[in-house]
């Protein structure tokens, strides 16, 4: 008689174990290190804050040390408004830590968090009422040369400011570079472009994408960090006209946020083939003025008194 309750209890436990998980569980993109490797930890209650100020309710956040070891990886709790409960392993206080957030589980595209952490043994950061806010927004600037032509690559999707037009370089044929209009002002992260238009410094804001240091698309290679390369080409005017000239330097350096031609042991000069796009370039000068506030948000015209960004420059409107 005593066996029946036991069998009944066992059946109930099995049913509960099957019912609780529900749908298929997510798989972590990043695998954290052995939990027994380190003696201490610090805890962080956090949220991932989007550029519009809202919290990301469905994401994964991972914490890494300077060597790239994953010290913690957790999913946000959608039922608690996207709260993250991080238990970060470590042994020595003072270690620098970086964070990444996976925001799209279909593509596993992740983003670099703006903040960095310093490991503190047994420390606590944030709580349920005041979680530590992790932001994905970052700011980057690029310089459009006085010639009106330049190259750019940014670590986030961005809207090209008024007065500029973007071109792609699909291939290099012989010593000629055929340009193709990008066809949009909404340009992609981690993609090198050739830019034509008004000279100046342009500052943009966006969500940084998962970035490598170097990206090659078609005939252009873009660098998100300054790097010494074997061969570099500079877009400028010269004795053979306007185009890409090889830089004669034993250790040429490509500046961060710019690009160069994707050629090896190439010619000294490559001309830009502007066939069919000259009228489009001329129309850039007639583009409507677009103004932004100091947070990078477009504003309606006419402008009210204040400071705005127009054409990449700060403008005081009285």
d(CA 1, CA 19): 29
C-alpha distances in Å from residue 58, one per residue of 7, 79, 92, 119: 40, 10, 31, 25
pLDDT tens for 13-49 read: 332 333 333 334 678 889 999 988 998 999 999 999 8
- Domain 29-135: which topology? Immunoglobulin-like (2.60.40)
CA distance 316 to 313: 10
pLDDT at 281 over 80: no
* Gyration radius of the chain's alpha carbons: 26
Write out pLDDT tens, residues 200-246: 999 988 887 766 889 999 999 999 989 999 899 999 888 888 889 99
Q: Is the pLDDT of residue 288 over 70?
A: no
Q: What is the location of CATH 2.60.40.10 in the chain?
A: 29-135
Q: How confident is the model at residue 304 (pLDDT cuts 50, 70, 90)?
A: low
Averaged pLDDT, 86-95: 93
The pLDDT of residue 285: 41
d(CA 90, CA 119): 7
Percentage of the chain beyond pLDDT 90 is: 42
User: Beta-carbon neighbour count of residue 152 at 10 Å?
Assistant: 24
Nearest to 59 by CA among 83, 32, 43, 89: 83
pTM of this prediction exceeds 0.85? no
Cβ(127)–Cβ(223) below 8 Å: no
């Amino acid at each position: 008689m005593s066996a029946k309750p036991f069998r009944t209890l066992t059946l109930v436990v099995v049913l509960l174990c099957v019912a609780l998980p529900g749908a298929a569980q997510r798989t972590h993109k990043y695998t954290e290190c052995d939990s027994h490797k380190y003696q201490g930890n610090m805890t962080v209650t956090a949220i991932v804050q989007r550029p519009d100020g809202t919290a990301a309710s469905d994401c994964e956040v991972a914490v890494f040390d300077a060597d790239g070891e994953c010290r913690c990886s957790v999913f946000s709790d959608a039922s608690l408004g996207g709260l993250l409960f991080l238990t970060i392993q470590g042994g020595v206080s003072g270690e620098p830590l970086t964070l990444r957030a996976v925001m799209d589980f279909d593509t596993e595209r992740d983003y670099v968090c703006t903040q960095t952490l310093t490991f503190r043994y047994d420390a606590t950061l944030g709580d349920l009422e005041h979680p530590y806010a992790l932001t994905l927004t970052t700011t980057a600037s690029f310089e459009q040369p006085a010639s009106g032509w330049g190259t750019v690559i940014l670590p986030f999707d961005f809207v090209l400011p008024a007065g500029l037009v973007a071109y792609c370089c699909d291939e290099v044929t012989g010593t000629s570079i055929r340009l193709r209009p990008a066809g949009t002002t909404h340009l992609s992260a981690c993609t090198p472009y050739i830019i034509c238009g008004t000279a100046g410094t342009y500052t943009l804001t966006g969500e940084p994408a998962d970035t490598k240091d170097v990206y090659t698309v078609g005939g252009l290679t873009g660098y998100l960090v300054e790097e010494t390369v074997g061969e570099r080409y500079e877009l400028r005017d010269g004795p053979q006209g306007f185009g890409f000239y090889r830089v004669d330097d034993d250790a040429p350096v490509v500046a961060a946020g710019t690009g160069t031609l994707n050629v090896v042991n190439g010619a000294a000069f490559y001309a830009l083939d502007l066939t069919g796009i000259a009228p489009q370039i001329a129309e850039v000068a007639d583009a409507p003025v677009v103004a932004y506030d100091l947070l990078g948000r477009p504003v309606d015209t006419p402008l009210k008194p204040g400071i705005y960004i127009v054409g990449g420059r700060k403008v005081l409107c009285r």
